[in-house]
Amino acid sequence: MAFDGITIANIVNELNKELVGGRIYKIAQPESDELLLTIKNNSTQYRLLMSADASLPLVYLTESNKPSPMTAPGFCMLLRKHLQNAKIMRISQPGLERIIHLELEHLNELGDVCRKKLIIEIMGKHSNIIFCDDNDKIIDSIKHISGMVSSVREVLPGRDYFIPQTQDKINPLRFSAGYTDPDAELSCFQKTDCDNVPISYEDFKQQMQAKPMPLYKAIYSSYTGLSPIIAQEICYRAGIDADVPANVLNVMSTKSVVEPLQTVYNTILSMINDVLSGNFTPSIIYKDKEPIEFASLPLTLYDDMETQVFDSVSTVLEHYYAERNTITRIRQKSVDLRKIVQTALERNVKKYDLQMKQMQDTEKRDKYKVYGELLNTYGYNVEPGAKSMEALNYYTNEMITIPLDDTVTPQENAKKYFDKYGKLKRTYEALSELTVQVKGEIDHLESISAALDIAMQEEDLVQIKEELIESGYIRRKGGTKKAKITSKPFHYISSDGFHMYVGKNNYQNDELTFKFANGSDWWFHAKKIAGSHVIVKTEGQELPDRTFEEAARLAAYYSKGREQDKVEIDYIQKKHVKKPAGAKPGFVVYYTNYSMAIDSDISGLKQV
């Protein structure tokens, strides 16, 4: 989710609580478009990270430090000259713009008190960090924007700073009758006569009815700082389909006591009041353990997904982007392995399909054997030049018609049929062995693919790569030693206190099942689907039903069937699980087992 005005409002609210009254102790510029300010306030040290990176602009408090270049860039040196030991007087946000305004007080060379402004603009590729004097003259910026780059606004030393009004959007904070713009006196923020006039329902209704587009799009394209996901949340809270055209919404619902747009208006008003009162709930939304959204207000449209609530929006941002970066990095590093597995899998599937088609052709072999035997038995009755012969099949006691080659004798026809039978029989015997081998390769490759899907750390990929090397899919480079394995299985605690372990790959599956587990421990696996082995340590106790269900959910989640509503899970005591001689890693056999069909929701399980 991109930074929107509500997230910025949450950040400003947090910064006001922590930083106002504090002094800037250190100024660093770790990257060309990034600043890290160290601020001391109330006997506590804070680090404020602000980035104008075009792909990922950010502002949040962090406990992490970042190394700086040996020689500080010019912008950093300028800030140190003016703002070293400066006091933070005020932090604000104009309207619901994606802009943070730091008003700073410092002493100049003569000892006089001066005011400066550090403005952070979080606007995608147009993001910037701009340093201004108290008259809104730009002293410098982390990015220089000339008239050749932008015809709307130059960001250069000596130019006047202003917010360009490139879009005809309205400040949504005006929905609240109690709102007054705290930056109304600042000349750098362009104002109109109606900036503090509340938005009435009639105003909102008129604006929506003028937009023949989906309701959620009409909302975020009309008001500053509202992202598409927040617009969809507004529609969801109002109980209205977000894709219904805004201009016909009221017309479509003539039977309603309250006009649908009135409900939407009331929902926006409630949300804006939460923003103005600082009633934020910073959270991250997870789908299959992967963060997919973050927000400063509850996203009720994701109620069916796992939501983790945090005390600080800075913590949310740091966690979200760190986890996203980890997932992205793992996926990038696993691309080559996935390509190798997918290529081999496609090749083996094609080979298996061809072999199965050939196997179907060999089903005719017994028919040719019968033809040959019947020709040898009754062929003396066939007249020369006949193209077929009818005979009693003494295996089924039915009459059948045997096609004949009229250019040769019945005995020679019988020999041809026996030759066909022999060839198909040999093909069948060969294919019976080959199809088992190829199906084993397919199952093995699908299990490796499943392991790649659940790999969360670089260490997990090391063990998967080692398996591909030992299986012959990757050639070990000359002189390269076997990789050191540090990856460990997933470890969960059941609601009843039992330890549950999940293998991340085939080697870990073997290790868990045949070296770690005791005979009385319980073993779980998705039925006829590639997935992880799950071991529940019993410590000699009887497992309660709830633990059986939770272990089964783990087996369902860590399998190729996790997207299904229900997954059939086999479970059995470990002592009944056997490893066939010569079987590939992770492959086992068992003959007596229990089964259950269960969902793959593990959101309530505690991971160690």
Secondary structure class of 420 (helix, strand, coil)? helix
Instruction: Please determine, for residue 485, whether its predicted confidence score (pLDDT) is greater than 90.
Output: no
594 DSSP β-pair partners: 571
Higher pLDDT, 362 or 116: 116
Write down the pLDDT at residue 253: 61
Sign of CA dihedral 501, 506, 507, 513: positive
Summarised one tens digit per residue, pLDDT across range 79-91 is 999 999 999 999 9
Ranking 110-119, 372-381, 515-524, 570-579 by mean pLDDT, the lowest is 372-381
Write down the pLDDT at residue 460: 85
Mean of all residue pLDDT scores within the chain: 89
- Cβ pair 451, 464 in contact under 8 A: yes
Report DSSP state, residue 152: S
CA pair distance 446, 432, nearest whole angstrom: 21
Write down the pLDDT at residue 604: 81
Burial class (CB in 10 A: 0-12, 13-18, 19+), 16: middle
Does the global pTM surpass 0.75?
no
What are the tokens at 557? Answer: 């989640």
Residue ranges of the domains in the chain?
Answer: 5-166, 201-323, 344-451, 488-607
Write down the pLDDT at residue 255: 59
CA pair distance 55, 67, nearest whole angstrom: 21
Summarised one tens digit per residue, pLDDT across range 443-474 is 899 999 989 988 887 888 888 888 888 888 88
- Cβ pair 465, 337 in contact under 8 A: yes
Secondary structure tally for the chain: helices H, strands E:
13, 21
Summarised one tens digit per residue, pLDDT across range 383-398 is 888 888 888 888 888 8
Helix (H) or strand (E) holding 48: strand 44-51
CA pair distance 526, 534, nearest whole angstrom: 10
Report DSSP state, residue 124: G
Summarised one tens digit per residue, pLDDT across range 279-289 is 999 999 988 77
Summarised one tens digit per residue, pLDDT across range 155-171 is 999 999 998 775 678 99
Secondary structure class of 536 (helix, strand, coil)? strand
Write down the pLDDT at residue 157: 95
Instruction: Please determine, for residue 185, whether its predicted confidence score (pLDDT) is greater than 60.
Output: no
Write down the pLDDT at residue 305: 86
Report DSSP state, residue 559: B
Write down the pLDDT at residue 358: 87
CA pair distance 434, 63, nearest whole angstrom: 59
Neighbours of 363 (CB within 10 A): 10
Instruction: Please determine, for residue 402, whether its predicted confidence score (pLDDT) is greater than 50.
Output: yes
Write down the pLDDT at residue 1: 57
Average pLDDT over residues 337-366: 89
Instruction: Please determine, for residue 479, whether its predicted confidence score (pLDDT) is greater than 80.
Output: no
Average pLDDT over residues 348-352: 92
Predicted confidence band of residue 33 (pLDDT cuts 50, 70, 90): very high
Percent of the chain at pLDDT > 70 equals 95
Write down the pLDDT at residue 182: 62
Instruction: Please determine, for residue 298, whether its predicted confidence score (pLDDT) is greater than 50.
Output: yes
In a 13 Å sphere around the CA of 218, the CA atoms on its Cβ side amount to: 25
Average pLDDT over residues 348-370: 88
Residue at 330: amino acid letter: I
Write down the pLDDT at residue 183: 59
**Helices 260-276 and 215-222, axial angle in degrees (round to 10):** 40
CA pair distance 461, 474, nearest whole angstrom: 14
Secondary structure class of 86 (helix, strand, coil)? coil
Predicted confidence band of residue 193 (pLDDT cuts 50, 70, 90): very low
Instruction: Please determine, for residue 235, whether its predicted confidence score (pLDDT) is greater than 60.
Output: yes
- Number of residues in the chain: 608
Summarised one tens digit per residue, pLDDT across range 251-264 is 776 555 688 999 99
- Cβ pair 40, 22 in contact under 8 A: yes
- CATH of segment(s) 5-166: 2.30.310.10
Instruction: Please determine, for residue 478, whether its predicted confidence score (pLDDT) is greater than 80.
Output: no
- CATH of segment(s) 201-323: 1.10.8
Secondary structure class of 62 (helix, strand, coil)? strand
- Cβ pair 547, 536 in contact under 8 A: yes
Report DSSP state, residue 162: -
Higher pLDDT, 475 or 196: 475
CA pair distance 31, 453, nearest whole angstrom: 33
For 161, phi then psi, to 5°, come to -90, 135
Secondary structure class of 446 (helix, strand, coil)? helix
Instruction: Please determine, for residue 188, whether its predicted confidence score (pLDDT) is greater than 60.
Output: no
